[in-house]
Amino acid sequence: MSDYKMLIGGRLVDGDHQMDVINPATEELFATVARASERQADEAIEAAATAFPAWAEVPLAERQAKVSQLADAIVANADRLARALTQEQGKPLAEAQGEIAWAEGYLRHYATLEIAERTIQDDASGLIQVRRRPLGVVAGIIAWNFPLLVACWKIGPAVIAGNTIVLKPAPTTPVTALMLGELCRDIFPAGVVNIITDANDLGGYLTADPRIAKVGFTGSTATGKKIMASAADGLKRLTLELGGNDPGIVLDDVDVRATAQGIFNAAFLNCGQVCLAIKRAYVHDSIYDAMCDELARLAEAAVVDDGLAQGAQIGPIQNKAQYEKVKAFLESARRDGTIVAGGEVIDRAGYFLRPTIVRDVTDGHEIVDEEQFGPILPVIRYSDIDDVVARANASPYGLGASVWSRDVDSAVSVANRIESGSVWVNQHVAIGPHIPMAGVKSSGLGVEQAEEGLAEYTQLTVINVARGG
């Protein structure tokens, strides 16, 4: 008997298989959860397909009310969800509580959104209206870094638009998604929301199924490409929010201490396991040494511990596979640059690394060119603004970027030259449910959040009526 069950067709069910969930701070068993077979994945898809026609006819106001109820339920269970999130994902409890609050806030905003329709022409000669209709069954596949928040990112707009959904969390962080399923069971009609788990073996099954009309995926670029290929035969709609290698460009006029704090916070949030984290900091030559010193000071002062421990600021890397990848990046950093803070594995149970600052590296080094997705920040020297913009844009990624300066106009001028879906000035990871989020190049397709994100879950239809003789 598993500790947490899946939601299929309005019922909480055990899996045909089970799988263990490891606490990354202790390397000990945290939970045993249901794991779906292909048969159960098929049941979930069929339940969603069966529920779709009736759900699509439910008035928008009622669909919005259901999403608001889910937000209420998250608030009512916030403490339980936050502790489970920390234990399965590793992030400090304060960050887990923040994720719960974000999930609630995003759902609240989704519940205010209208399905945008417009009239192009309405006169004696004709009527032309642009309408939006639900697509059908959506497959939501999510990553392990923000398992509850991203689950709500998929569920909210999908059901508001009138679709039904089959959600699949990452195998290393299924618990909070399954807890969310418990809440959804008591709110939505049977089959509207279904949540199944796997061992990374059912993604292709979902994306290839002809009953799936759209795939919403958050995760690595490599996996996103596989999903795109799998969905090609059916020409499925896709929203792919993929990897990033976000640059932070620091101009020569900044307050070094204040800017270093902003850069550090944006680089080491969730132990650096954020697609929108600053992954490479470009710092002007005139302040380079001072910025490296201040970043090193912050890294050395950071409290690394079990996320449930009092005062923990940085938790463990979420899983052993990622831990080994990040350790390899440490070796690359040591080979190509100078580690001025961190650089070592912490000798204790759990997947812990000290936050690491690497200087004297540049473009072409692995630690700069690749997405580390862990607690390592390379700091790269530059002297010419045109050169640094070209270097920032040379990456195959384009998810987020930031420019830091006392002169906001100058910073905005630089920001306008960056090839990225989001570019911030004097801040980073400043996202919200009312702000569209998109990637360019290898960072993704489509839009998440806001009205533009909701539209991704609809089919545009033009009604064109001739009037008169």
* Active-site residue identified among 152, 271, 275, 292: 275
pLDDT attached to residue 98? 98
User: CB-hemisphere CA count at 13 Å for 127?
Assistant: 6
Residue 15 lies in a domain: yes
31 forms bridges with which residues in the sheet?
21
Residue with tokens 């000990």: 28
Given pLDDT bands bounded at 50, 70 and 90, which one contains residue 116? Answer: confident
Residue 320 lies in a domain: yes
Residue 407 lies in a domain: yes
Averaged over 136-144, what is the pLDDT? 97
- The answer for residues whose C-beta is within 8 angstroms of residue 117's C-beta and 6 or more apart is 129, 130, 131, 132
Residue 437 lies in a domain: no
Q: What is the mean pLDDT of the chain?
A: 97
CA-CA distance, 38 to 112, in Å (whole number)? 36
- The answer for residues whose C-beta is within 8 angstroms of residue 469's C-beta and 6 or more apart is none
Cβ neighbours around 429 below 10 Å, total? 19
Same domain, 147 and 269: no
123 forms bridges with which residues in the sheet?
126
Asked if 40 contacts 49 with a C-beta cutoff of 8 angstroms, the reply is: no
Residue 112 lies in a domain: yes
Whole-number percent of the chain with pLDDT over 90: 97
Averaged over 49-75, what is the pLDDT? 98
Q: Is the pLDDT of residue 452 over 60?
A: yes
CATH value at residue 360: 3.40.309.10
CA-CA distance, 87 to 96, in Å (whole number)? 10
Annotation says 294 is catalytic: no
Q: Is the pLDDT of residue 1 over 60?
A: no
Averaged over 347-353, what is the pLDDT? 96
Task: Kindly provide the b/e burial profile for residues 39-72, where b requires at least 16 CB atoms within 10 angstroms of the residue's own CB.
Answer: ebbbbbbbbbbebbeebbeeeeeebbebbbbbbe
Same domain, 234 and 253: no
pLDDT attached to residue 469? 64
CA-CA distance, 75 to 69, in Å (whole number)? 10
Query: Residue 178 corresponds to which tokens in the numbers above?
Result: 């399954």
Averaged over 112-141, what is the pLDDT? 96
pLDDT attached to residue 468? 81
Chain centroid to Cα 190, Å, comes to 27
pLDDT attached to residue 136? 98
* Active-site residue identified among 95, 241, 448, 456: 241
- The answer for residues whose C-beta is within 8 angstroms of residue 25's C-beta and 6 or more apart is 87, 90, 305, 306, 307, 308, 315, 316, 349, 350, 351, 352
> CA end-to-end span of the chain, whole Å?
71
Same domain, 373 and 448: no
Question: Helix, strand or coil for residue 82?
Answer: helix
Q: Is the pLDDT of residue 262 over 60?
A: yes
Whole-number percent of the chain with pLDDT over 70: 100
Same domain, 19 and 157: yes
Same domain, 199 and 173: yes
Number of domains in the chain: 2
Question: Helix, strand or coil for residue 198?
Answer: coil
CATH value at residue 165: 3.40.605.10
Same domain, 23 and 138: yes
Same domain, 343 and 390: yes
Question: Helix, strand or coil for residue 150?
Answer: helix
CA-CA distance, 254 to 75, in Å (whole number)? 40
Question: What pLDDT, in 10s, does the model give residues 146-191?
Answer: 999 999 999 999 999 999 999 999 999 999 999 999 999 999 999 9
Asked if 320 contacts 326 with a C-beta cutoff of 8 angstroms, the reply is: no
Same domain, 216 and 269: no
Task: Let me know if 145 is exposed, middle or buried by CB neighbors in 10 A (0-12, 13-18, 19+).
Answer: buried
Q: Is the pLDDT of residue 230 over 70?
A: yes
376-382, strands of its sheet edge to edge? 338-341, 356-361, 376-382, 278-284, 246-250, 400-404, 422-425
Same domain, 410 and 265: yes
- The answer for residues whose C-beta is within 8 angstroms of residue 281's C-beta and 6 or more apart is 247, 248, 250, 263, 267, 291, 295, 377, 378, 379, 380
pLDDT attached to residue 2? 73
Same domain, 423 and 449: no
Averaged over 238-246, what is the pLDDT? 96
Query: Residue 347 corresponds to which tokens in the numbers above?
Result: 């000798």
pLDDT attached to residue 192? 98
Q: Is the pLDDT of residue 108 over 90?
A: yes
Residue 469 lies in a domain: no
Annotation says 275 is catalytic: yes
pTM value? 0.96
Written as one letter, the residue type at 340 is: V
pLDDT attached to residue 368? 98
Same domain, 261 and 398: yes
Written as one letter, the residue type at 139 is: A
Same domain, 381 and 427: yes
| Domain around 410 | 246-432
Residue 1 lies in a domain: no
Q: Rounded to the nearest 5 degrees, what angle is found at the Cα of 63, between the Cα atoms of 179 and 61?
A: 145
Averaged over 111-125, what is the pLDDT? 94
Residue 258 lies in a domain: yes
